[in-house]
Amino acid sequence: MAPEIPDAIIRVRDISVRFGATKVLDGLNLDVKRGEILGFVGPSGAGKSVLTRTIIGLVPKVSGSIEVFGIDLDAANAAARRGVERRWGILFQQGALFSSLTVRQNIQFPVREYLNVSQRLLDEITVAKLGMVGLLPEVAGRFPSELSGGMIKRVALARALALDPELVFLDEPTSGLDPIGAGDFDELVRTLQRTLGLTVFMVTHDLDSLYTACDRIAVLGNGKIIAAGSMADMQASEHPWLRAYFHGKRARAVMG
């Protein structure tokens, strides 16, 4: 049971999700503080992505309530929901860039839909966003199929950040990147979080990301949050999965 946090940007209460007869999430509670980077871990298939997709409304839940920015998403009407959706950005695991649009059009797409700004400002903001995620303006004319895996993640992040959201969901942002690329990406998330005052909800398996980027870690198991807290709390925990995860061979290598 997560402790009550007063200024929570996401407040998940008693969520249950089923696929057929399988219970994926079972009475799960979770709070995400404003301005923090929350790392979300758990064994493969435990439902990390399902929870993310439930919060953003892609997976229907059986019971429970979800509040984002203090707005109950079930009670909200279409306009209020759209207002919330405008304030968050999502980086999907495979990037989910629109394959028939160029990088420039991908980044400008949400801005063009929500704001009535001039093409000049759109182009300037695109260059600024590309710069923020560490890409050169030259990639703007390319199509997603002409980008490397790391570049796809960066462009997808730039698109997620296009409207200057307050909250960003990252689904395994560093999977499939080389360790140096992954390290750069963690650094990037940290920098962006500082400059833009973001709240970041990051599903990850990357221990390096947990060490370097995250303020707080939540662990999912058996459809519930097993533990939530700082890295030190995680390492001190006696839970068998946590011990295996944070004291395993890979974890020791990361800690040095």
Partner 1 sequence: MNGDPTLERIAQGNGLALCATGSWTARFAPVLEQMVAEAERLTGSRPDIFIDVSQVSKLDTFGAWLIERLRRSLAHGGVEASIAGLSANYSSLVDEVRRVKATAVVDTTSMTITGVLDQIGRNVAGFGTTLIGLIDMLGAVLAAVGRVVIHPSGFRLTSTVHHLEQVCWRAVPIVLLITFLIGCIISQQGIFHFRKFGADIFVVDMLGVLVLREIGVLLVAIMVAGRSGSAYTAELGSMKMREEIDALRTMGFDPIEVLVLPRMLALIIALPILAFLGAMAALVGGGLVANFYGGVDPEAFMLRLRDAISIDHFIVGIVKAPVMAAVIGIVACVEGLAVEGSAESLGQHTTSSVVQGIFFVIVMDGVFAIFFASIGM
- Chain residues binding partner 1 by CB under 8 A are 98-100, 104, 111, 114-118, 121, 123-129, 131-132, 137, 140-141, 143-146, 161, 163-164, 191, 194-197
Instruction: Give whichever of 62 and 196 is closer to partner 1, judged by the CB atom.
Output: 196
- Judge residue 57's burial from the number of C-beta atoms within 10 Å of its C-beta, 0-12 exposed, 13-18 middle, 19 or more buried: middle
Q: How far is the CB of 188 from partner 1 (least distance, A)?
A: 11
> What is the smallest separation between the CB atom of 89 and partner 1, expressed in angstroms?
12
> Which one, 15 or 189, has the nearer CB to partner 1?
189
User: 117 has which bridge partners?
Assistant: none
**CB-nearer residue toward partner 1: 43 or 134:** 134
- The CB-side HSE value for 118 (13 A sphere, CA atoms) comes to 3
Question: Rounded to whole angstroms, what are the CA distances from 70 to 12, 37, 75, 77, 167?
Answer: 11, 18, 12, 14, 13
Q: Which is nearer to partner 1, 33 or 86 (CB)?
A: 86
Helix residue spans in 75-142 (DSSP H): 78-86, 103-114, 119-132
Compute the radius of gyration of the chain from its Cα atoms. 18
Q: Tell the smallest beta-carbon distance from residue 140 to partner 1 (Å).
A: 5
- The distance of closest approach from Cβ of residue 7 to partner 1 in the complex, given in angstroms and rounded to an integer, is 15
* Per-residue burial over 219-243, b = 16 or more CB atoms within 10 Å of its CB, e = otherwise: bbbebbbbbbeebeebeebeeebbe
Q: Name which of 59 and 132 has its Cβ closer to partner 1.
A: 132
Tell me the closest approach of the beta carbon of residue 208 to partner 1, in angstroms: 23
**Comparison of 40 and 88: residue with beta carbon closer to partner 1:** 88
CB of 192 to partner 1, least distance (A): 9
3-state DSSP call for residue 148? coil
